[in-house]
Amino acid sequence: MQVIRAVGREAAAKKYDLLSAMMAHGLAGDKHRQRLILRLMALITTRYNWQRDELTIGQREIARLWCVDERTVKREMAKLRTLGWIEIKQHGARGRVSVLSLNLERILLDTRGEWPNIGPDFVERVGGKPSEPSSNVVPLHRPEPVPAQGLWAEARARLAEEDPALFDAWFAGLIEAELTESCLTLFAPTRFHANYVQTHLLERLRTAVLRCNGRIARVRIIGP
């Protein structure tokens, strides 16, 4: 999969590709998914700064655009943050609204199942081969799968379904070390393994855990 960067000569086409992927994903879902996707697309097309990756708009403005109350805005934006599709880039202060950003890679990962509905040309153009990790680094050894239970078992299943090769290389060897009300701590087989996951794959790992339990805000990786 190629991460979309909506800048340069092909910026317009890349924007349409992202919106097309979101549209296909929404249409393949139920009415709740369709409405959520439509609302996000409305924000993107009206207020998103593609070059700076910034979405700056207050809840009152969103409510007016969506024709809903501000309570609905809070609920829907929370869903999008849980999905990992939007992230807080800068918290609001002194009367200023928060600056949000789009996680384009996460959006593409989540919509990939519906790409064939658009057509094989779209799959070939946008899909390609998985791009993460964008490095030639490989683990020193391929760990044997480790049994897991509870939250980590559910998150592992999500990660394995999302990208089996990446899971096998980097996530399969992680063991649950501690789980508190807001943090999951995982133990890696080597210090190198822990550092690599922490540096390159933590956001993908955190999103999978968050989708399984919205109360877990942090994921820590520790090593020997």
- Could you read off the pLDDT of 65-83 as tens digits, one per residue? 999 999 999 999 999 988 8
Residues of the chain with pLDDT below 70 are 1-11, 128-148
E strand or H helix at 110, and its extent?
A: helix 104-111
Within 10 angstroms of residue 111's Cβ, the number of other Cβ atoms is 22
Question: Which strands, in side-by-side order, build the sheet including 175-179?
Answer: 175-179, 183-187, 218-222
Strands (E) across the chain are located at: 48-49, 54-56, 86-90, 99-102, 175-179, 183-187, 218-222
Residue recorded with tokens 């709740």: 32
Give the pLDDT of residue 68.
Answer: 96
pTM (predicted TM-score): 0.67
Contact between residue 159 and residue 132 where contact means Cβ atoms under 8 Å apart:
no
pLDDT of residue 150: 84
Domains located in the chain, CATH noted: 11-126 (1.10.10.10), 150-222 (3.30.300.180)
Per DSSP, the three-state class of 7 is: coil
